[in-house]
Every structure is written in C-alpha cells, then in structure tokens.
Amino acid sequence: MTDSNSKMPAGMAPGLIALGLATAYLVALLGAEKQAVIISLLVLGIGAVVGAAWLGLFDRVSRSFADHEDALGGSAIVAALALAAYFHEDHFVLLLVVTVLLTSVATLGLNVQFGYAGVLNFAGASFFGVGAYTSAVLNAYTSVPHLIVLPIGGVIAALIGSMLLLPVLRTRGHYAAVVTIAFALLFKTFLEVNDVLGGPQGMQVKGMNILGWSFNDNIEAGGITISFYMGYFLLSLALLIAAFVLVRRLERSWIGLNLDALRLDETAASCFGLDITRWKITAFLIGNFLIGIAGALFGMVGGFVGPNNYTFADSLILVSILLLGGIGNPWGLVVATFIVVVVPEKLQTIQEYRFLLYALMVIGVLLFRPEGLLPRPVRRYFPRWRP
Amino acid sequence: MNPLLQARGLMRRFGGVVALDGLDLDVAANEILGLIGPNGSGKTTFFNVVTGIYGADAGTVTFGGADITRAPSRAVYKAGIARTFQRSRLSLPLSIFDNIMIGNHQHLNQGLWFNLMRRKAFKREFEENYAAARALVEVFEPAMADRLFEPVAGLPMIDRRRIEICRALISAPKLLLLDEPSAGMTHEETAELMDDILLVRERNKNLTIIIVEHEMGVIERITDRCVVLNFGRKIADGPYREVAADPQVQEAYLGVA
Ligand SMILES: Nc1ncnc2c1ncn2[C@@H]1O[C@H](COP(=O)(O)OP(=O)(O)OP(=O)(O)O)[C@@H](O)[C@H]1O
Ligand SMILES: [Mg+2]
C-alpha cells in the first residue's frame, strides 16, 4: 500500500480544503467572546479532529501537503494574511496571533535541537528571554538599528547556549538536559539580583522602529484604523516563513541526515566519520539562534521583560508543543503552537488549570498518536523529484 | 610486502575477562581473511578495537603503515576502514537511501552554506549519490533499487544485512570488516549474499576483507586464509583446509580446552 501511495502524487484538494476549514475555524474561534460559544467551538474542533483521524483523512492531507508544499505553503501565507486583515482592528487577537507566530519560531529551533539532534533543551523559554533582554538593553542604551537587534539577540542566545553546553556535549547521555534545567532555574535568580537588567521589576523595551516608522502607533489609512500590532504581525510572519524554510532545508540536506544519524546511533555514526560533538553543537547553535531572534522580537512586541516572564514552566510548555505537534514536522509544530497558545487564552475558565490541560493533551497524544498529531514523514531531499 | 593491517601484542580486558590476549595479526592487501573462533573468543572485540570503539590496553594497530591504535572511530573511517555490525545497527526510521548515505559521509559536502543555500549544487550532488547508491543496491537486490526512499524498519533481515553492507561499501573503503554478515539468515540467503560480496570485489580488486563467520561452508568458499582465535589468542593461521585439520582448532571448537 505504501508502495502505490509513494508513487501516485496526491491531489492538492485535500490540503486546500483542510487549510480553508482550519482558517475559517480559527476566525470563528478567535472572534468568539461568549464562553459558551468558545466551549462549543472547541468541542466541535476536537470532534472534527478525532473524526478526521478516524477516517484516515489526516494521511491524505499530509500527503497532499508533501506533494504540493510550495503551493500549499503559499496558500497558508495568504490564509494568515486574510486572518490578520479580518482582525485588523483587534489588538487582542493580533497579539495572540503574533504570540503564536513567534512561539512557532522558537519551537522550530527546539525541533532542530531535540527533534533532529536529540539534544533536549529545557531552557527554551530562558533563551527566548535572553533574546528579549537583548532587545531591552540594546534599545535602551544603544542606537543599533532595531532590525539588527533581532539577529544579535539570536547570536547572544546561541553564544550563551554554547558556553553552557560545550563542556557536556562531549559526554554521552542526558547531561545536556540537566545543564539546561539548571540554567532555566538559575536564569530567574540571576535576573532578579541583576540591577543593570532591572532586577525583579524587569525593564521596559522600546518598540520596533524601522527608519522612523514606529511599530507602536496605530495606522490610520483612508478612514480605517489598523492596530499597531499589524506591523509586528507582518514581521513575525516573515520571520516564521524564513525559519520554516531554513529548518526544512536543513532537514533535507546532508546535515539533517547527520543529525538523524547521530541521534539514532552515535556509535554507528562515528564509525562512518561523523564528528558527534561538532554536529550536536551546530544543531544547538542554530536552534538557539532561532529561539533568540523570536525572543528579541517578542520583547519589543510586549514592551516589557521581567524575570517572571520566561520561567522553567514556560520551557516545559515549549517542549510539550514539540511532543504534541509531531517531533520533526514543522507543519505539526505550527498547528500545535496554535492549540497550546490560543486555547487557554480564549478559555478564561480553564486558565488556572492550563498545566493540567497540557499534561492531559500530551499524555493523550503519547498514548494514541505517539508520533504527534502530524508525524514526520521519511526524508525526501526534493519531494517532487522522481528518479 | 608490507601488510595492510597489522596488529601487534593487542590486549583488551573487560574486568577479569581477557578478550584480546596479545594478539598478532597481519592482513595483506587484496586478501580475504576469515577470522574464526568459538563464541567469546574476541573476534568482535578485535573489530571494535580496530575501529576505535574500544581502546586497546596494550599493543598497536597499524593501517597502511600509520599507527591507528588510539585513533577515534571517525579517523579510522577516513583512513579507509568500513565495517558492518554483528547485530544490525541500521537507523530504522530512516530510508534505505539515508542509511547508505550515512556510510558516504566523507564524500558528501558538509558545508553549512552549501547545504542550506546552494540548493542547485546540492541537488547535483544528491543526484550523483542517488545513482551510486542505486547501482550498488542493484548488485545485491535489484528489487530494492526502486524503493530507496522507503524506511528500513519494514524490511526483512536479509535486506537489512544487504543495506548494511552497501553502507560500508559506498565510500569505496580499502578494508571492509564484516562481522557475521549471515547471522539470522537461511543457507540459501547466505550463499546469495556471499556471491554478491564476491561480485563487488570482482569489480574492485583493491578491496581487502576480513570476515567473521560461523558458517564454515562460507569461510571455505570465499576466504584466501583463516586466522583462528581462542580466548583472545591466535591459535592457527593458514588456508581453511589446513586450520580446519589442526587438532588445536578442533579442540577449541569442541570446547575441550
Ligand atoms: N563491552 C563488553 N563488556 C564486557 N565484556 C565484554 C564486552 N565486549 C566483549 N566482552 C567479553 O569479551 C569476550 C570476547 O567477546 P567478543 O564479543 O569479542 O567475542 P566474539 O568472538 O565476537 O564472540 P561471538 O562469536 O559470540 O560473537 C567475551 O567474553 C565477552 O563477554
Ligand atoms: Mg562477535
């Protein structure tokens, strides 16, 4: 069966239909205000997902995406733009969507580290925070152009990460995971006692300003008011697209193969010439770079950073997104990020129980779909290429 | 003529067990050497010490004249030694092609910029390697050549063994170490696999092979010479017919020692 499947190109229709339904559903969910409506929508969504999985529709959708990813990826961008246009006045919804986009960038980074290289990072939120603090400090004390501040945030997160992990990545086992846990716990204390970084009160972050265009002003155009979050939305979307393309190319290269090989069997990999430490560090640097950039932009979006924003618990949420979405599948990660970020925000009644909810979701997925909502397909270096 | 691989006084202990006990062993270029001996006599340990998975407690190994005793695994591979494992060590979730490409690491461009940004050039390299992998697989199992992008996980043992051998051969090594390539296979399958290995060597006369094998029919048929180990020591060395007739060897196999 797999044989005939892999040879017959799937149509674009399943992908387009799924994308359309998902967008319509999101518009309804994001726009809903009454808790009763939101709960009904969520029940409907869960029912639809379970039903679709039951009928095997997911496999058709994912094959459709695999065979037409450029066209469907383009459609996804159009759908995101349409969604933002629909909510152009709504600060709250746009902020939520920006949060999803930037969290997705961070989980793509974690995915390179854990999904490909097998290096667990339990300090994802801390490195995100490193990016945000970079923005706060650079925007306050220097005149570095804000677009340059973003990659600097990424570089600093990567540097700190490599300083922490260089000594332990040579060893086998999960020392790296332990070191990241220690870092996540110490990070908060370090910020609290550090007056230059604002101590327990945290710091204001100046908003993004590109050549005199301040992102923190609403845009008035021809009688309509567009939320100032629109600029951040567009920039975050561009960042996500770039990160997505980067991670996908990485997976479809010899480097992606190296990372898989060393994750699955270090001994065999080194018997075929792989420098294990070099590639683990490369993966960690790339992942932290993405996390740091996303954090730097998110700092500017929120306008504030504090020690309590980026805790160990937030790092665990990032890891749970990875488990939920399907380790190694960028599409799955974006979907899972939507679920994990949007549901508790909309469903005020469960805010307090959100960790319980995450735990239940992760356990449910591990039990019934151990490879995540959208499992990672076998690598095709050029998906449309046929021998 | 200088031997291609030379071990002198090689020692390796595991706690109280002496797995290699002052082993001396020479392998000439272009020969097929059978390495035999009862269970636990140190054959796999020898491969592991040569390929840098285990360190040696004493003694030396040289390859093509260069000392590789303390070389890490990846340097041993770069020097031209590739191996298979007694217990198949493929990466099961990955495709056949991916598994074979793992073996070609040193011939693949590993540059970050090349891999991420120069996709046209990368595609050319990919296509060349696809053709090479396909040609190699065709020697072993033509039916598999059309399925290179299927995961290894669903394949039967004989196909996995074939892929492991392809992974070791794709980089055109000088020395191939085969650790019980026929384990878990039937007589007929084993015979077929050996024919394929001989065919590869027919095309590449420079390939030297050390094969560990329990099936003596195989050893008799394909090896030029045999070395017999017992308790980590060499107890016999010569053509199969000679060592098989050696009373010491017969004793070791009967476990009277
Ligand atoms: N990693 C290890 N730790 C402890 N003891 C080991 C280890 N590897 C091998 N040994 C011991 O060293 C001795 C030689 O083992 P080795 O695997 O080299 O034998 P072998 O000749 O390959 O046997 P077989 O034909 O069963 O594969 C055995 O007594 C074995 O128990
Ligand atoms: Mg053995």
pLDDT digits (tens, 9 = 90+) for B136-173: 999 888 889 899 999 999 898 888 999 999 999 999 89
Helices A276-302 and A146-169 pack at an angle, to 10 degrees, of 140
Inside any domain, residue A3: no
Given a contact cutoff of 8 angstroms between Cβ atoms, the answer to whether A284 and A127 are in contact is: no
| B2–chain A Cβ distance below 8 A for any pair | no
pLDDT score at A173: 66
Inside any domain, residue A365: no
Instruction: Give the minimum alpha-carbon distance from B168 to chain A in angstroms, rounded to a whole number.
Output: 8
Q: Encode A138-158: b = buried (16+ Cβ within 10 Å), e = exposed.
A: bbeeeeeebeebbebbbbbbb
Give the mean pLDDT of B105-124. Answer: 92
Contacts of B108 in chain A (CB under 8 A): 254
- Pairwise CA distance, residues A176 & A262, whole Å: 15
**CB neighbour list of residue B151: distance below 8 Å, 6 or more residues apart:** A378, B92, B93, B94, B95
Pairing of strands A209-210, B58-63: unpaired
Instruction: Give the minimum alpha-carbon distance from A180 to chain B in angstroms, rounded to a whole number.
Output: 25
To the question of pTM greater than 0.80 for the whole model, the response is yes
How many Cβ pairs within 8 Å bridge chains A and B?
102
Inside any domain, residue A78: no
**CB neighbour list of residue B14: distance below 8 Å, 6 or more residues apart:** none
Inside any domain, residue A167: yes
Contacts of B83 in chain A (CB under 8 A): 271
Inside any domain, residue A7: no
Closest CA to A324 of A339, A345, A342, A311: A339
The DSSP element (H or E) to which B67 belongs, if any, is strand B66-67
Inside any domain, residue A160: yes
Domains contained in chain B, CATH given: 1-80+173-257 (3.40.50.300), 90-172 (no CATH)
Per-residue pLDDT tens over the stretch B182-218: 887 888 888 888 888 888 888 887 899 999 988 888 8
Ligand nearest to the backbone CA of B41: 1
Out of A264, A271, A381, whose CB is closest to B73?
A: A271
Domain coverage including residue A336: 91-212+227-347
pLDDT score at B59: 87
Q: How large is the ipTM?
A: 0.91
Mean pLDDT score across all residues of chain B: 89
- Pairwise CA distance, residues B65 & B119, whole Å: 40
Given a contact cutoff of 8 angstroms between Cβ atoms, the answer to whether A2 and A55 are in contact is: no
Per-residue pLDDT tens over the stretch B10-55: 999 998 888 888 889 999 988 999 998 888 888 999 999 999 999 8
- Pairwise CA distance, residues A328 & A349, whole Å: 33
- B98 vs A380: CB contact, 8 Å cut-off? no
Q: How many domains does chain A have?
A: 1
pLDDT score at B104: 94
Inside any domain, residue A49: no
pLDDT score at A77: 92
Closest CA to A123 of A166, A173, A172, A185: A185
Protein residues whose CB sits closer than 6 Å to any atom of ligand 1: B 14, 17, 19, 37, 39-45, 86
Closest CA to A90 of A205, A218, A209: A218
pLDDT per residue rounded down to tens, chain A (387 residues): 344 444 456 788 888 988 899 899 988 888 888 888 888 888 898 888 888 888 888 778 888 887 888 888 899 999 999 888 888 888 888 899 999 999 999 999 999 999 999 988 899 999 999 999 999 888 888 888 888 889 999 999 999 998 888 877 776 667 888 888 888 888 888 888 877 787 788 788 777 777 666 766 777 777 777 777 888 899 999 999 999 999 999 999 999 999 999 999 999 999 999 999 899 999 999 999 999 999 999 998 888 888 888 888 889 989 989 888 878 888 889 888 988 888 888 877 777 777 787 888 888 888 887 777 777 888 889 887 877
* pLDDT above 70 for B255: no
| B106–chain A Cβ distance below 8 A for any pair | yes
CATH for A127? 1.10.3470
Inside any domain, residue A17: no
**Ligand 1 center–CA A264 separation, angstroms:** 23
- Which of B11, B43, B219, B253 most suits a substitution to test ligand 1, by most atoms within 8 Å of the C-beta? B43
pLDDT score at A6: 45
